[in-house]
Structure formats: structure tokens, C-alpha cells
Amino acid sequence: MKHRTEPRSKLAIAILAILAMFTATVASTASAGSSGDDDDSSEERRGRDDHSSDDDSSDDDSSDDDSSDDRRKRVVKLTILHNNDAESALLPSEVDGRTYGGAALFTSVVDREKRRAERRSDGVLMLSSGDNYIPSPALDASIDQGLIPILDTLFLDEVGYDALAIGNHEFDLGTGVLADFIGNGFGTTNPAPPFLSANLDFSNVPELQALADMGRIASSTVVEVDGVPVGIVGATTEAINIISSPGDTIINPVLPAVQAEIDALTADGVEIIIFISHLQGVDEDLALLEQLSGVDVAIAGGGDELLANPRDRLFPGDVPAFPYPIIGTNADGADVPVVTTSGNLRYLGRLEVKFKDGELVKIGRRSGPVLVEQTRRIQPDASVVANVEEPVAAYIETLGAIVGTTDVPLDGRRAADGKFNNSPIRSQETQLGNLMADALKADADAFLGTTDAVALQNGGGIRNNDGGPATAIIGPGAVTEADTGAIAPFGNAVVVVDLTFQQLVDVIEYGIDEGRDDGRYPHVAGMRVEYDDALASNTVDDPIVIENLTLDDGTPVVVNGVVQASTDTVQMATIDFLADERNDAGLGGDGYPFPNMIAGDGVDDACGTATRPDCTVVGTDYKVALENYIKALPNATVTVTDYPVVPRPQPLGSGDRMVPTA
């Protein structure tokens, strides 16, 4: 297969034409019975749902004139392997005596599926839809030790991608780390792939613009499959300015940027368009598709939804949210398969598609998620074990110091039912959310010399789910520094914001009303909030949803839906990610409406600056605040008395902090 990358500027065509000279040759493979491959017949006996009444013999399509020079009449059978939200889940998990996930097993599964696809298809693509790494103890193994290339890069290079979308978490540690990630280490084992986003402009970010000038970052790329050009277009959520730290990156609207790139590709004779995006979920892709013309396949990222069919082998306890694939509709009225995986390297997506005359005519019956599981014939890739997993494990071993003990499970799961939404940490009060909020409050109280502070921790800042089953629920048992690093990995600093009663209500209500099932959901301390859950419907124009809000000292802030008149202020402990203005947008992280942030004034109004006298930087890393709080508990133990299991059956008890009333 031949690759070429479409630049953001047509002036770069000459440069990129040189890159097109480099080709990735499809190696010949052994027959279906070759040793080292699983018996393909066993997979067929599993009885995957077929998306066509044709059996495999119909794929021959003897009526097609494959010898024709007219590429538009060529039949192309394409296997698309894909994943998203790898999020530095580099180490495997052990469940019931079996091993799942991790970088080395994932690499081996990809290698096997590539070999199979080369026998069955005219070509195979390996694609990622973003969030290729995330702040975590696994990433810290590279960052804290100054490793270049980053270990995540070494792993992804071993996999051998044709293209990767840029997600939001790639910006969490700033543009410099992203530049190191892309610019160092790829191309060692496999050809260096392009990172794609049609709607991001890096002209104000020199370290990333340099990579764009080299073709390592682009709007799209083109891969030739059996002589037929296949275009791959990338996109990144427009919300990265409030959910990450993209610096001076210019964030353009997704729809016009992607459509313009598709139009340019089709004008150049590209017949098949694959859209890889990180828009935060399949719902966003499905809605966008209806407005996009020319898309043939969409691969979504950011939502962690599990797509699977009845006979697919799944990770223990996983429940599918949707079938694989979902069928969407583009602006031309054509059906478009939309796929994604649930992330953390537990699955490799496998979509088999057949095109004739540039039109999708069949979705293969083998399409579906492939569980990343160690078996007799699938063993961890030895090179990835030695060069990636072992250094990560050795680093995490140094974080084994015990902070304290928990008698209750600290549940950080994001998806309890196969969907990204309906997740405990992002939709409801939990023990872990309460613990984090209490830690922020304690840190602020000590700084202020008071006991009256309240606190807010967003669910998206609690990340122990990213490490897979080994860390998604911590305890009962010892809590180590590795655990606190998994819970609070972003390096967010504790700050204190002075709020009027109305401002406090605005902030909490935004988290409830706009934050259901995403990273904004508020976990609180120092107050009790009763709210009408029926009104929390994700629209900013809803009537007030808070019915009663009472501070722990008994001060009423809201009574029967009425904000009480008062000249008093409330001191709220939170994290700088939420309280600092993000990219001059007039909003804090996750869109929180803290006061004194002025949109469009050319200043990022951050805590501790002249424009924010209401906001004081305490400075403690929220991970350290959590550790200090646990150590200060009696016997350094998180007890069931202080942190009862929530949510309890209705009616909710008086000890609950976030109380839905309807």
C-alpha cells in the first residue's frame, strides 16, 4: 500500500510528494494453516452476525473486470483495524486467572489480525481515533524520568499505524509533550504515521507547526489499496480549549474543516473516505455524519462505548452498548458504518468492508471487536514487553509506598454498562468523589485557617479507571502512591475561589445540569445539595434545578428553589483546571462559569493574577492533597462510617451530599 499525506497548506504539496515515495509493502503471508496463527475456522464457527446474506465465496465477484485500467470499476476488499482511547494502559490486567490488554498483548493481536487480513483482503489499515496517551503513572514512567522517546511512542511504533487522530488528552501536559511524543521514536520499527486533525491549526505553536511542515501532522492522508486511493481525514473535538490545554492552537469548527478536506480529496480522485475523529463519542459522529457529504466509514473516539454483537467474546463483565457497527447516514443519504472501541487496549476493532465503483456494498461478517486476551497462541510481544512494559512496571514499583488503607471500594469506573454515560464517577455521588472533595476542602481549610470552606472536584479529574480493572476500583485494602497517582494524575493545583451565594449556585447547577455523564459532574464537600433530577437535562436554559442547598454549618443558600439574599461569601476549594480561564473563552475547565473571567480580552484570567482577586492559589497538587488527607484520617483509614456506599436505595439518607429528588 502506498501512502501520501494531505497538507494543511497546498504550498506543502511538493514536500509531501517526496514523502509519497516511501511505501509500506504488504508482505506475503503463509497459508491459513500456518503455525502461529489461530485456526480461522474456529472463529467462523463462533457464528458472527453477517451484515450481508452473501457468504465469503461471493467476495470473488467474478463479474467484476479487475483487469480494467479504470480504477472506479475496481472491487476493493478492505480490512480496517482500529482502536481509540489507549490512554497509556500499557500494562495487562489479570482477571480470574486470565490476562487481558496491555501493550504487548495488543501488539500481538494486531500482528495476527494483520496477517489474517492480508489473506482475506486487498489491503489492511491500522487506525487510531485519538487519546493515544494520558497523564497517569504509566506515562509518568516516561515524563518523570525524562525518557525520549516516550514509552507510549515505542509501543505505538511497534503496532504500525497508518494514521492516528489527535485527541484531547494529547494536550493535557501541553504542546511540548505532544511534540516530543509525535516527533521522537516513530519510524523505528514501522513507517512513521501522520497524526490527523483537519480542524486544528498549529501556526501559533512552533514545535507542532514544524511537525506539520514535515507532514507528521496533517489534515488527511491517502493510502493506496490495490491501486485505489483511500483518504483518511481526522478531526478533534472543538471543546479541547475547555477540557485540555492546547495552548495557542487555533481550534476551527469541525464541520467545514472536514468537509473542505473531503472535497479536496475527492477532487484529486480519491474514491473512498474514512473519517477518524475524537469528538467524544459515537453520538457526536452520528450527528455530524448527517451533515457531511462523501464519508464512507467513520471511526469514533472519546466515548469508550462498547460495540459488539451477540457472539463476540468480551472482557469479563462488559456489556455492549450498541451493535458493531452502528449504521449512520451521511448527507448524501448513504449508509455509513460507524465504529469505535471501549478503549484501554482491551479490544481491537476489526471492520471488513467491500467497495465497488467507490461505493460501499458489503460489511463482512467477521466485523466486530477482537478481545485482547492471552491464549496458547497469542503471547505478549517480547520486544514490547522488554522495551515498554518492563520499564513501566519497574517505575510503578517505586510508587509502592503505602499512604493508608480503605475499608470501602474507591470506585472510579467511567462506564458501568458498556456506555460512556451512566458512569458512576461522572453521573452520581460516589465514595471516591466524596473523598477527593474532602481532600480539597481539608487542604484549603488548613491554608485558610478555617473549617468553613466548601469544595468541588469534577468527575473527569478522577482517572483511576484509565488503568483498567486493576485500578478502576481500588480497595478494600492498602492505598499506595501508585493508587493516588492513578486517581489524580493531572498535576492540578488546589485553589480557593470566593463566591457569592448566587455564584455558588451557578457553579454547582452548571455541574449538575450540563455535566451529567461527562467530566463536569460535581463531587462536593461542605454542603448538601438537593436537586430536581428531572430538570437536569443538559440545556443551559432550564429553570433552576437546585431545590435546597445548605452549608455544613447550617447556613441556607437555597431554600425551596430560592437563592437566599446575603452579603456573605463562600470560599470554595477546587482545582486550577476548573477555576482558571481556558484559552480566553470566559470559562474555566470543563466550561465551569467561575466569576471574573472575561472572554475575548486577550488574557487567560488565571487564579492568582491581577484580574482574579477572587481566586487564591493554594498550590498543593491534588494528588498530594489526597495523600495528606488519607494520612490524617484516624488510623489513616477510609472507613465505611465516613464514606458509606452511595448511592443507596431511595429515599436517600441524610448523609448524602448530592441528593436527586425526582
DSSP string, 279-294: SSSHHHHHHHHTT-SS
Give the pairing type, strands 200-201 and 250-251. antiparallel
Q: CA 636 to CA 478: how far, in whole Å?
A: 10
Query: Which pLDDT value is given to residue 63?
Result: 38
Task: Tell me the sheet residues that pair with 508.
Answer: none
Per-residue pLDDT at 39 exceeds 50: no
488-514 pLDDT tens trace = 999 999 999 999 999 999 999 999 876
**Nine-digit cell at 114?**
494483520
How sure is the predictor about 647, in pLDDT bands with cuts at 50, 70 and 90?
A: low
Task: Tell me the sheet residues that pair with 165.
Answer: 196
> What amino acid occupies position 548?
N
Per-residue pLDDT at 25 exceeds 70: no
Contact between 339 and 82 under an 8 Å Cβ cutoff? The reply is yes
Choose the weakest-confidence range: 20-34, 74-88, 231-245.
20-34
Task: Tell me the sheet residues that pair with 163.
Answer: 127
CA angle 444, 515, 538 (to 5 degrees): 145
Query: Which pLDDT value is given to residue 73?
Result: 55
Contacts of 22 (CB under 8 A, 6+ apart): 3, 191
> What amino acid occupies position 471?
T
Q: How many C-beta atoms lie closer than 10 Å to residue 460's C-beta? A: 20
Q: Note the pTM of the prediction, 2 decimals.
A: 0.85
Of residues 485 and 654, more confidently modeled: 485
**Nine-digit cell at 118?**
492480508
- Determine phi and psi for 440, rounding to 5 degrees: -65, -45
Query: Which pLDDT value is given to residue 604?
Result: 81
How sure is the predictor about 532, in pLDDT bands with cuts at 50, 70 and 90?
A: confident
Contact between 171 and 135 under an 8 Å Cβ cutoff? The reply is no
Query: Which pLDDT value is given to residue 602?
Result: 81
* Closest by CA position to 103, among listed 52, 57, 157: 157
Query: Mean pLDDT across the stretch 582-590?
Result: 86
Query: Which pLDDT value is given to residue 517?
Result: 63
> What amino acid occupies position 318?
D
Q: CA 451 to CA 82: how far, in whole Å?
A: 51
Choose the weakest-confidence range: 301-305, 422-426, 577-581.
422-426
* Closest by CA position to 435, among listed 404, 467, 399: 404
Q: CA 43 to CA 112: how far, in whole Å?
A: 13
Choose the weakest-confidence range: 63-77, 153-167, 562-576.
63-77
Burial class (CB in 10 A: 0-12, 13-18, 19+), 141: buried
Contact between 94 and 310 under an 8 Å Cβ cutoff? The reply is no
Sheet holding 402-406, edge to edge: 477-480, 402-406, 637-638
**Nine-digit cell at 10?**
497546498
Q: CA 443 to CA 438: how far, in whole Å?
A: 9
Distances (CA, A) of 123 to 24, 75, 160, 224, 284: 11, 12, 14, 9, 29
Q: Which residues of 111-125 are buried (b: 16+ CB within 10 A; e: fewer)?
A: bbbbbbbbbbbbbbb
Q: CA 285 to CA 277: how far, in whole Å?
A: 8
3-state secondary structure of 322: strand
Distances (CA, A) of 273 to 2, 79, 377: 15, 14, 35
Query: Which pLDDT value is given to residue 415?
Result: 61
Query: Mean pLDDT across the stretch 629-658?
Result: 77
**Nine-digit cell at 184?**
521522537
Query: Which pLDDT value is given to residue 16?
Result: 33
Choose the weakest-confidence range: 432-436, 446-450, 455-459, 644-648.
644-648
DSSP string, 57-107: GGGG-TTS-TT-S-GGG-EEEEEEEEE---TT--S-EEETTEEE-SHHHHH
Q: CA 466 to CA 19: how far, in whole Å?
A: 36
* Closest by CA position to 598, among listed 586, 610, 581: 586
Query: Mean pLDDT across the stretch 157-186?
Result: 97
The overall average pLDDT reported for the chain is 86
* Closest by CA position to 515, among listed 622, 615, 589: 589
How sure is the predictor about 17, in pLDDT bands with cuts at 50, 70 and 90?
A: very low
How sure is the predictor about 2, in pLDDT bands with cuts at 50, 70 and 90?
A: low
Q: In which element (H, E) is residue 392 found? A: helix 390-397
3-state secondary structure of 433: helix
Q: CA 153 to CA 170: how far, in whole Å?
A: 12
Query: Which pLDDT value is given to residue 545?
Result: 85
CA angle 362, 164, 368 (to 5 degrees): 35
Query: Which pLDDT value is given to residue 13?
Result: 32
The pLDDT > 70 percentage for the chain reads 83
Q: In which element (H, E) is residue 478 found? A: strand 477-480
111-152 pLDDT tens trace = 999 999 999 999 999 999 999 999 999 999 999 999 999 999
Task: Tell me the sheet residues that pair with 658.
Answer: 529
336-392 pLDDT tens trace = 999 999 999 999 999 999 999 899 999 999 999 999 999 999 999 999 999 999 999
Mark out the alpha helices in 121-170 (DSSP H runs): 137-143, 151-159
How sure is the predictor about 20, in pLDDT bands with cuts at 50, 70 and 90?
A: very low
- As a 3-state breakdown, the chain gives helix, strand, coil percent values, each rounded to 5, of 30, 25, 45
64-123 pLDDT tens trace = 444 444 444 579 999 999 999 999 999 999 999 999 999 999 999 999 999 999 999 999
Query: Mean pLDDT across the stretch 319-324?
Result: 95
**Nine-digit cell at 156?**
505505538
Give the pairing type, strands 93-95 and 228-236. unpaired
Contact between 584 and 597 under an 8 Å Cβ cutoff? The reply is no
Task: Tell me the sheet residues that pair with 548.
Answer: 530
Residue 118 CA from chain centroid, whole number: 29
The pLDDT > 90 percentage for the chain reads 74
Task: Tell me the sheet residues that pair with 80.
Answer: 125, 351
Query: Which pLDDT value is given to residue 482?
Result: 94
Q: How many C-beta atoms lie closer than 10 Å to residue 171's C-beta? A: 21
Contacts of 94 (CB under 8 A, 6+ apart): 100, 470
Contacts of 569 (CB under 8 A, 6+ apart): 498, 499, 500
